[in-house]
Amino acid sequence: MTKHHPRAAEGKPLTLSVIIPCYNEVSTIAEMLERVQDVGLAQQIVIVDDGSTDGTRDVLAEIEAEQHPDVKIIYREQNGGKGAALVTGFQHATGDIFLIQDADLEYDPRDYPILLRPVQEGISPVVYGSRFLGGPRKAMNFWNMVANKGLTLVTNMLYNAILSDMETCYKVFRAEVVRGMKIHARGFEFEPEFTAKVLKQGIRIYEVPISYNGREWTEGKKIKWTDAPAALWTLVKYRFVD
């Protein structure tokens, strides 16, 4: 498969590391990896298994046995949460650009070109893929949408921003943005902590529309309404604490 190298505005090729935190995704992880590889943009794919217990590790062992040169799999012995898995992934990623990809099938890697373009062209070192900018999407649970929009509104008020989707999975950024960034979040509060620390650096986040195929909690969706208070507290805390 031909690899298409992203290029910066000055023509220098940039390498892409896709980081996939994974917990109990036995039915989707192999297909997600295939989808990422089919796009042909990632030079490195880092899968971090966060202590899965449902057979995901057996699937990952089969993938390792196939010897994909672009895939690196890391096994965490205990489940620590999405934030902990991402921190581990950042430590092993070697690309110039990092892209966060969930292991389920809610987000479509075919959106990578539009996500990467603002970074490649030097428009912004940080790009978010928004589910609320008019891209095609499966109808979202109403209260999930309210929580997302509420947390995004608080983000905008506290950090003087105009984001439409702070909680999106699709966060793309130059590697140096996260180098040296101390991330304390262990669970889903990664999203507000990372966003707060990016905005406090004075970086204006660029948003692009993406497609979204949300799954139901009965299908394995892990984030719950109870994660919203922790996200809210995280936003307030990092507004006033370095």
pLDDT per residue over 12-59, tens digit each?
789 999 999 999 999 999 999 999 999 999 999 999 999 999 999 999
* pLDDT(137) > 60: yes
Instruction: Return the higher-pLDDT residue of 6 and 118.
Output: 118
pLDDT confidence bin for 1, thresholds 50/70/90: very low
Mean of the per-residue pLDDT values for the chain? Answer: 91
Beta carbons of 74 and 63 less than 8 angstroms apart:
no
Three-state SS for 147-161 is: HHHHHHHHHHHHHCC
Going by C-beta distance under 8 Å and a sequence separation of 6 or more, which residues neighbour residue 143?
Answer: 225
pLDDT, position 2: 46
CA dihedral 39, 41, 44, 50 (to 10 degrees): -50
pLDDT, position 228: 82
Tell me the Ramachandran region of residue 180: left when phi exceeds 0, alpha when psi lies from -120 to 50, beta otherwise.
left
Beta strands at 44-50 and 16-22: parallel, antiparallel or unpaired = parallel
pLDDT confidence bin for 217, thresholds 50/70/90: very low
* pLDDT(4) > 60: no
CATH T-level fold of 16-240: Spore Coat Polysaccharide Biosynthesis Protein SpsA; Chain A (3.90.550)
Instruction: Return the higher-pLDDT residue of 139 and 175.
Output: 175
pLDDT, position 242: 75
Instruction: Return the higher-pLDDT residue of 188 and 162.
Output: 162
* pLDDT(64) > 80: yes
* pLDDT(7) > 60: no
Percent of the chain with pLDDT over 90: 78
pLDDT, position 139: 64
- 73-116 pLDDT, tens digit each: 999 999 999 999 999 999 999 999 999 999 999 999 999 999 99
pLDDT, position 141: 75
pLDDT, position 8: 52
